[in-house]
Amino acid sequence: MLNAKFIDNDAVQYGGGFYIAGGANTLDDVVLTNNDAQLGGTEYYFNGGSLSATDFFITSLTEDSIAGSSSASAVCESPCSAGEYGNCSSISNAPNCYVNCECADCFIGTASSVVGSTLHSDIECTNCSMGTSSSIVGSTLPSDCVKCTSGSYASVVASTSCEACPIGKFATDNETDYGGGLVTQVISGAITCNDCPAGYIAEISSLFVCIACDAGKASKAGKGNCSSCPIGTYSESGQSQCTNCVSGKYNYIVGAQLCVGCDTSKTSSPGSFECDQAEAGYFLLDNEVQDCPDGTDCLGGYLTPIPQAGYWMDRSNINYADHAYKCSRGTCTGSQNSSCWTVGSIENNTCNNDKLLCKKGAHGPLCGSCQSGYTYSSDELVCISCSSESMIGAIVLLAIGLFFLILAFLHWKIPILVWDSYILMVIRNLFKSGSLKVLISAYQIIQSITSSMEVIYPKVFAVSLTWLNFLALDMPGLECSGVGVYGRVYFASLVPIIMALVV
């Protein structure tokens, strides 16, 4: 049968359009439309034989449109056009034919180029892939799935639109790509947005490449702006964090690109905004660099000069830090505790000056006094414990007093004949000639040399001089004799007068 149409026919029994009883049958360009039959097969009835059909279509199908052998091989036309899909029911004895088609447009985000589509499937209505989208209802072409533009993305299939990447993120086609678009740039078709790497930002939305922070600024990952470096720090471009200025450099500017070196003789701690410390060999006084005084060590930083052994410094005021005094006695130890020589420790007087600078038993300015229970030893040039000197001092003091009393008595009370005896004559001549005065003066000069000219005598000679200390009114053990301060003042004041009268 060739080029035939069967329209609006009725049959009393079977096959409203035509009835095939058997044999070999060929159909070419045959259409069956709106036919009817009383007993079945309103369009056609296939009772046996074979059927070879080309362009054989049946429209307006119902469940009764085809009847007969299940081997029927007719091809039925679907009312669905390109861009639509059919939600149809299959006719059991004509597996290529469907009825009750409800044609609908392919969803947005999908497309179909198949005419007469019967199923909404990945074949007939194909989802737009990730990175593309379609807003066309009933799309017939895969090309209607358009790649997302730069800075936007579609992370799921069948997307109806692409979303803009938010601030702090960039568009890419790789979920593990955190390079910020610096190496590989995805201008279109992105499937995700990832955080910009540290040191780079996306200040606005819809970017596919991140921008490096300027020098003097830094940022963490996923940020939309760069933060300026605080004072005392700096950065080059594209940095995740600001770097502290190294020791000896500083800056006082927010957002600095580099640090500035300190002036000569000044330095700074890491991360400083000013050079507020001194280099070794110098110290700061009122924020001005000062040379290290003689007899001190200047370690730099916030430390004031530290006196060396044999020197003493007044720590009562920071303004006295520029001078150290040489001690006449061997009681000045210098200081090894640098923590007591910061500006704050001096201003707050947190350290005991005597313990810091004086040897045991000594105290006061220049460590020149001995504490209670101690007496000064001229041969050792230090304060020693009274346990070994107290009795000696008391005995010497008593002996001296008796000696001068005897001399006075002999000089004034004993008759001239007796006084002029040979032995007493020698003593008298010493008094009258002034030789004794010369000897006493010579001794006092020799004794004073140890302190005034910093001369240290040999041990034996120094010990010998100690027994004559009373001539210089330096009484070993006088402090240990029980004589109070006022008593020692009276002694030092009256003894020279008595000696002058006697001598």
Query: What is the rounded CA–CA span in Å between residue 99 and residue 500?
Result: 152
Concatenating the DSSP letter of every residue in 84-132 gives: EEEEEEEETTEEEEEEEEEEEEPPTTEE---TT--S-STTTSEEPPTTE
| Residue 376: partners with Cβ closer than 8 Å, 6 or more residues away | 329, 370, 382, 383, 384, 474, 476, 479
Q: Supply the pLDDT for residue 118.
A: 46
Please return the burial class of 5, using the count of CB atoms within 10 Å of its CB with bins 0-12, 13-18 and 19+: exposed
Q: Give how far Cα 204 sits from Cα of 223, 224, 228, 258, Å.
A: 10, 7, 19, 28
- Residue 408: pLDDT band (50, 70, 90) is low
pLDDT: which is higher, 298 or 348: 298
Which range has highest mean pLDDT (123-127, 230-234, 313-317, 359-363)?
230-234
Question: Per mean pLDDT, which of 116-120, 228-232, 274-278 is the most reliable?
Answer: 228-232
Instruction: Inform me whether the pLDDT recorded for 461 exceeds 70.
Output: no
> Does 390 have pLDDT greater than 50?
no
Query: Treating both helix axes as pointing N-terminal to C-terminal, what angle do 422-433 and 390-413 enclose, rounded to 10 degrees?
Result: 100
The predicted structure's pLDDT at residue 382: 86
- The pTM assigned to this predicted structure is 0.54
pLDDT tens digits, 279-313:
999 998 888 888 999 999 999 988 889 999 999 99
For residue range 143-159, what is the model confidence (pLDDT) as tens digits?
778 889 999 999 988 78
Bigger pLDDT: 131 vs 221: 221
- Euclidean distance between CA atoms 60 and 35, whole angstroms: 9
Between residues 198 and 13, the one the model is more confident about: 198
The pLDDT value given to residue 470? 56
Choice among 105-119, 188-202, 304-318 with the minimum mean pLDDT: 105-119
Q: What is d(CA 441, CA 289) in angstroms, rounded to the nearest whole number?
A: 48
Q: What pLDDT sits at residue 274?
A: 92
Structure confidence at residue 447 (pLDDT) = 65
What residue has token string 């069948």? 158
> CA-to-CA distance for 419 and 454, rounded, in angstroms?
44
Check pLDDT > 70 for residue 238: yes
Give the mean model confidence (pLDDT) for residues 382-404: 64
Q: Is the pLDDT confidence value at 488 over 80?
A: no
* 396 Cβ contact list (under 8 Å, min separation 6): 470, 475, 476, 477
Q: What percent of the chain has pLDDT over 70?
A: 62
Residue with tokens 């044609």: 103
Question: Among 110-114, 264-268, 432-436, 442-446, which is the least confidently predicted range?
Answer: 110-114
Both tokens assigned to 20: 């095939």
Tell me what pLDDT residue 233 has.
96
pLDDT tier, 120 (very low <50, low <70, confident <90, very high otherwise): very low
CB atoms within 10 A of CB 463: 14
Task: Say how far apart CA 105 and CA 486 lie, in whole Å.
Answer: 122
- Residues 113-132 have a mean pLDDT of 57
